[in-house]
A = this chain, B = another copy of it.
Amino acid sequence: MNARLAATELQYATLLQQELEATRALLISACSSIPLPARYVVEQLVNRGGKQLRPAIVLLSAHLAQSDLEVALLAAAGVEMLHTATLIHDDIIDNASVRRGIPTLNAQLPVTAAVLAGDIAFAQAARLIARTGIPLIVERFSTTLETICRGELDQMFRSHGCLPSQETYFGRIFAKTASLFSLCAQIGPLLSQSSPECIEQAQQFGHLVGEAFQITDDVLDLLGDSHKIGKPVGVDIRQGLATLPIILYAEDHPDDRRLDEVLSGTADEAQIGDFLSDLIRSGATDKAMQAARSRKVEALTILQAYPPSAHRRALEELVQFAVDRVT
């Protein structure tokens, strides 16, 4: 399982093919309430949804918890719509011009139109989630939306170019990624009104997978991702954002002053290149990947509580994928 896996080769994509298509149909139908021309852009964004990891986790968790799949489809579309809405507003915040290979809303239309299109996507997400008929799911959905936005706003008001503690880093990746993964994983047990322990375990499972996924993404930002040829390395650090490998490197090399220069933006390209080479040689990225792998193992252990099935295997494989993208 150490070979790199493309999402299209993954078992869940085949196993859930029909359900993921139904999820996408719900999403496209929800887009119809966005006025043109903004609708075209959001539809394209949805159609290029890529790995669909989040709806896949919702659907697999629903299979494992033996919940009503019709209702699970609504939730799967709801979380993906929430993800889409946050991407639309993210792109405004970051002034990004391309997302999933297409020009962003804010690059094509006035920013104000992008704000409103994102708001409609939020509303549609909330509506899909409300249609599950389970108030607790709506409440957790709202809390997740709040966590995601608060995380971004926190980051905006926090001074950049500083070295955060591990605690701050894990708080940030919870807000950015793990909170939504955690919501996705809970939906199955919440729909089938499983025991509080079971819901708690699912929440923990999603949290671990989300953290593992984000740590891996952060390592790939330093090592380069063969799936994204031509993508520059070290994007985060150039923006003054210190991720786990950087924090681990700093812990082991408290006297290396180059880090301050790189984070504060005063280092030139050659200095950044030298620093990144030394950082990778130091084993800091391996150490970060160990943190990702230990979360993967914990997450897989939680899955052992469910009887073996094709859906459990697909979820196990999805968890492997979250981490094994780094060879």
Contacts and interface: CB of A to CB of B under 8 A. Distances in A.
A35 interface: yes
A116 B146 contact: no
A145 B130 contact: no
Copies of this protein in the complex: 2
A288 to B, nearest CB: 27
B116 A115 contact: no
Interface string A122-147: 11101101111111001101110110
A153 B122 contact: no
Contact of A133 (B35, B36, B37, B135): B135
A112 interface: yes
B127 A143 contact: yes
A156 B35 CA distance: 10
Interface centre among A118, A127, A141, A149 (most CB of B within 10 A): A149
B38 A116 contact: no
B123 A146 contact: yes
Contacts of A132: 135
A68 interface: no
A161 B222 CA distance: 52
Contact of A123 (B92, B115, B116, B145): B145
A156 B126 contact: no
A311 to B, nearest CB: 27
Contacts of A143: 123, 127
Interface centre among A38, A118, A126 (most CB of B within 10 A): A126
Interface of A: 33-38, 89, 92-93, 110-113, 115-120, 122-124, 126-127, 129-135, 138-139, 141-143, 145-146, 149-150, 152-154, 156-157
16 contacts: A35-B153, A38-B157, A89-B119, A92-B115, A93-B115, A110-B156, A112-B156, A116-B153, A120-B149, A122-B145, A126-B141, A127-B142, A130-B141, A131-B135, A135-B135, A135-B138
